[in-house]
Structure 1
Amino acid sequence: MSQTRIPTFDIRRFEDPAQRDAFVAELGAAYQEWGFAGIHGHGIPEAQIAQSYDVFQRFFALPEAVKRKYHVEGGGGARGYTPFGIETAKGATYSDLKEFWHVGREIPRDSKYAASMPANVWPSEIPEFREVAYGLYQALDHLGAKVLGALALHIDLPVDWFDDKIDSGNSILRPLHYPPITSPEVPNERAGAHEDINLITLLVGASAEGLEVLSRQGEWVPFTADADTIVVNIGDMLQRLTNHVYPSTTHRVVNPKGDKARQPRYSTPFFLHPNPDFLIDVLPGTVTADNPSRYPEPITAQGYLEERLREIKLK
């Protein structure tokens, strides 16, 4: 039965043997319906999230010329700063109204993944940026692995099935700044309707409303989570891997009305990716007579990522 509201779950139930089966069934059903859910009880301290937002806001408040020092030309936005007017939702006419920073996984520079996972860039103007940003990266990486463990159980895989496929994942923490909208005629949206590229996305502490999710009935459903809730949604890689058992749902960030439009919006999604050489091949258990394989050709995570980055004008 369809729900009219995107549900929120307490992930502590996953740690409780008496509640785990019920939690997995409910969470899996919610993702099959919405591709989105809220997660609370996650154990990431509110103070850590608040400190992260303070640091990110201080970076975005720096002069444009200072921020642009950290824009890596030709880097496809993989690390450092990406200015306004670049990223564009697939098929959209206008670019999104946002600037952002990318933090990636810290790996040894002699790693086999070094070519596809460049070294991080850190702003010297805010010395604590590195420790704070990477601390949040690690906390969300850990939480994401837990959510994937629950989804694995829901489709009859071992709870640790994803562990060795994401332990060197090309995951990204993206502090975002949507500026105040000063002209009512602006044709751009803060973030145009899109689906995410990766396995799952974890969105922590959006500072304002605006996120909307497209329901299966074709209606835009607002989803403003409580302060202690992290929004977790399915990305295209997991949709492909599970043969659309878990749908990657279209969503957008709309421009608010009235006085709220003149407020900036900050948010920090964490895009959880598999290891670059992971082969995205439809899981046999998700292929049925009613749901034949939609993707006969497998593709590596890195190949898929590069294909999609070209579509959204980051490459």
Structure 2
Amino acid sequence: MVSIPTLDIRKYDVDRDAFVKELGETFQKYGFCCISGHGIPDEQVRGAYEVFERFFALPEEVKLRYYLKGSGGARGYTPFKIETAKGFKYADLKEFYHIGREIPKDSKYADVMAPNVWPAEVPDFQQKAYAMYEALDRLGAHVLKALALFLNLPETFFDQNIDSGNSILRPLHYPAVPPEDVPNLRAAPHEDINLITLLVGANAEGLEVLTKDQNWVPVTTEKNAIVVNIGDMLQRLTNHVYPSTTHRVVNPKNENARKARYSMPFFLHPNPDMCLDPLDCCITSENPRRYSDSLTAHEFLMQRLREIKLI
């Protein structure tokens, strides 16, 4: 059976060349990798999940106070069955909350990066959510250093392009469904929009990855490893050297199919004005340039949000 490799990121400081090679090759093959040794404490993860579960347990009329209609779900709450995977008719069976980067009011990105909204009904939501945001932001930057080195780019290549990135922490709730109405899919097959995604707590059943030979492979992690996958922005930027792999969330074929599922992905985005034209180092005679148009990260994001019916 195919399994997604787990790599210890602490090896980056011990045997950098070997780690960079293993990580780069794993992403080239699967578009996914599990990362251990990241240093984010279990108690921090549990604390974040606890406040998110408390929010989703609030009455619907309370949660809707944090639904910012017309914002494309950029911040705050998005209700059940709103987001629809690209190319699919039926909405995903989930509700979620978006937490973004805190930026100065006079930032040049203030017109495209809205301020966060924090639910007053869960007093420690802001502190625990943003601490998790910052921890995953740091880890994502670390992963990108290794991915840059694999492409023979400077280790710091991504640093100046993600320091004000429009990244999102998305607590997700897939509600329990009645036994007579258990669907096969909770989230339809899709690819992520961003550079890379970091998924905390993927020990719950349901996440599956589509391999190159068109087989669905379940992804679960041991202990506190974090699942990392390539998004469409990085696929475009690297001219498909790093592939953005299709994945979905299915209901398990056991009693867990009728239980609620919680998830906490962090979507690491570049700065809104970063150009996503394929890098010269990723264009070869064997891999000619795949994109003729030129797009910034914000333009690409808006295009995709329209496709998934969030705007």
2:253 and 2:151 mapped to 1: Cα distance?
41
SS class of match (2:51): helix
Matched, 1:161 2:148: no
Among candidates 185, 188, 191, match of residue 187 of structure 2: 191
1:124 to partner: Cα distance: 0.2
Which of 79, 84, 92 lines up with 2:80 in the alignment?
A: 84
Counterpart residue number, 2:168: 172
1:301 aligns to what? 297
The separation in 2 between residues aligned to 1:73 and 1:203, in whole angstroms, is: 26
Q: Partner of 2:199 in structure 1?
A: 203
Distance 1:125 1:188 in 2: 33
Q: 1:225 — aligned with what?
A: 221
Tell me, yes or no, if structure 1 residue 32 matches structure 2 residue 32: no
The one-letter code of the counterpart of 2:178 is T
Contact 1:95 1:188 in 2 (8 A): no
Report if aligned partners of 2:182, 2:258 keep a CA contact under 8 Å in 1.
Answer: no
SS of the aligned residue for 1:232 comes to strand
Q: Matched residues in 2 for 1:197 and 1:184: separation?
A: 34
Q: How many residues align structurally?
A: 311
In structure 2, how many angstroms separate the alpha carbons of the residues matched to 1:187 and 1:203? 23
1-side partners of 2:109 and 2:121: how far apart? 29
Q: Supply the distance in 2 between the matched residues of 1:252 and 1:41 (Cα, whole angstroms).
A: 26
Map 1:141-156 → 2, pairs under 5 A: 141-156=137-152
* Structural mapping, 1:120-159, within 5 Å: 120-159=116-155
Separation in structure 2 between the aligned mates of residue 185 and residue 267 of structure 1, nearest angstrom: 22
Higher mean C-alpha displacement, 42-51 vs 250-259: 250-259
Q: TM-score, normalised by structure 1?
A: 0.97
Give 1:161 shift: 0.3
Deviations along 1:152-181, one digit per CA (max 9) or x if unpaired, are 000000001000000000000000000112
Q: State the match for 2:107 in structure 1.
A: 111
Do the aligned partners of 2:64 and 2:79 also contact (CA within 8 Å) in 1?
A: yes
Asked if the contact 1:276–1:300 (Cα under 8 Å) also holds between the matched residues in 2, the reply is yes
Are the aligned partners of 2:194 and 2:234 in contact in 1 as well (CA < 8 Å)? yes
Percent identity over paired residues: 64
Paired position in structure 2 for 1:6: 4
Does the C-alpha gap of structure 1 residues 57 and 185 become closer, same or farther in structure 2, counting only changes over 3 Å?
A: closer
Equivalent position amino acid for 2:128 in 1:
V
Q: Cα–Cα, structure 1 residues 13 and 114, in superposed 2: closer, same or farther, change >3 Å?
A: same
- Relative to the length of structure 2, the TM-score reads 0.98
User: What corresponds to 2:47 in structure 1?
Assistant: 51
Structure 1 range deviating more: 291-300 or 28-37? 291-300
Pick one of 286, 292, 295 that aligns with 1:290. 286
Q: Which runs of 5+ in 1 are unaligned?
A: none
Instruction: Mark the CA change 1:184 to 1:284 in structure 2 (over 3 Å): closer, same or farther.
Output: farther
Residue 303 of structure 1 and its aligned partner are, at CA, apart by 0.2
Q: CA separation in 2, counterparts of 1:184 and 1:295? A: 46
Residues 193-249 of structure 1 show CA distances to partners (whole Å, capped at 9, x for unaligned) of 000000000000135210000000000000111231000000000000000000000
Question: Contact conserved, 1:243 with 1:282, CA < 8 A, in 2?
Answer: yes
Structure 1 residue identity aligned to 2:292: P
Contact 1:96 1:188 survives alignment (8 Å): no
Letter matched to residue 64 of structure 2: R
Q: What is the CA-CA distance between 1:263 and the residue it aligns to?
A: 1.0
Contact 2:203 2:221 in 1 (8 A): no
Summarize deviations over 1:125-148 as a string: whole Å, max 9, x none.
011100100000000000000000
1:85 CA displacement: 1.2
> Aligned AA for 1:293?
R
Deviations 1:98-147 (A, max 9, x none): 00000000001111100110000000001110010000000000000000
1:238-292 CA distance string (max 9 Å, x none): 0000000000000000012231112110000000000000111100011111100
| Aligned residues of 1:37 and 1:233 also touching (Cα < 8 A) | yes
Task: Determine the C-alpha separation between the residues in 1 that align with 2:310 and 2:52.
Answer: 21
Where in structure 2 are there 5+ consecutive unaligned residues?
Answer: none
| Matched residue SS, 2:66 | coil
Partners of 2:47 and 2:155 lie apart in 1 by 32
